[in-house]
Amino acid sequence: MPTVGSFHDQYWKDTTPSTFVPPPPGPSRGGYPGWQAGVIAPSLFGMIGAWLDGQMERLRWALRLVRRVERMNDEQKRVLDVVIRSLESPAYPVARVAVRDTAQTLGFNRPEAWKPYSHELKASPGRAENTFRHLRACSLTRDRLREQGSTMTNPEMHLVVELGYQAFAAVGR
């Protein structure tokens, strides 16, 4: 059975009288013209090259991250540490599922859906206070950013406000 290599070997052999001359530098070992071997040979290392490209991209990403962290002040580094610990925590996947379930709750925007939650808030004044402090901090953040001409999505705003809470807890001011 002919293989790809034998096909190419036969193709480039001069079996019939012809005026065709392969492109310089002429046939090389194995029947390939030199220029074609130069194009094909790197593909032999394609898998290694792809792996190496992936490793280099990881290294570049890590270096960019290190440079960004080096520019942060001590407070920002402490908050970043809290964020990393949170992402590594077993609570993170649980929170993701809870957020997804809450986001997909039908009728959550109707007033009757809030009755059980209003009872929860009444039963826990501390949680109610924290909930409304968070809403107030989000409102202030949104208003101040609008004054600067900046827009921010709700998820971005809530994350920034939560990071502000983490900074306040870490530094106390």
Residue pLDDT, tens place only, 64-77: 999 999 999 998 99
- Residues 145-160, mean pLDDT to the nearest whole number: 88
Cα Dmax for the chain: 98
- Residues 34-60, mean pLDDT to the nearest whole number: 72
**Across all residues in the chain, what is the average pLDDT?**
80
- Residues 72-91, mean pLDDT to the nearest whole number: 91
- Higher pLDDT among residues 15 and 59, named by residue: 59
- pLDDT of residue 27 exceeding 60, the answer is no
| Cα 18 from Cα 155, distance rounded (Å) | 71
Give residue 42's pLDDT.
56
Give residue 72's pLDDT.
94
| Cα 170 from Cα 173, distance rounded (Å) | 9
Give residue 127's pLDDT.
87
- Higher pLDDT among residues 46 and 135, named by residue: 135
- Residues 10-20, mean pLDDT to the nearest whole number: 59
| Cα 144 from Cα 3, distance rounded (Å) | 70
* Chain length of the chain: 173
**Domain boundaries along the sequence of the chain:** 49-89, 117-173
Query: Residue 99: is it exposed, middle or buried by C-beta count within 10 angstroms (0-12/13-18/19+)?
Result: exposed
| Cα 87 from Cα 83, distance rounded (Å) | 6
Beta bridge partners of 27: 33
Rounded to the nearest 10°, the torsion over CA 46, 50, 51, 53 is: 130
Give residue 114's pLDDT.
81
pTM: 0.59
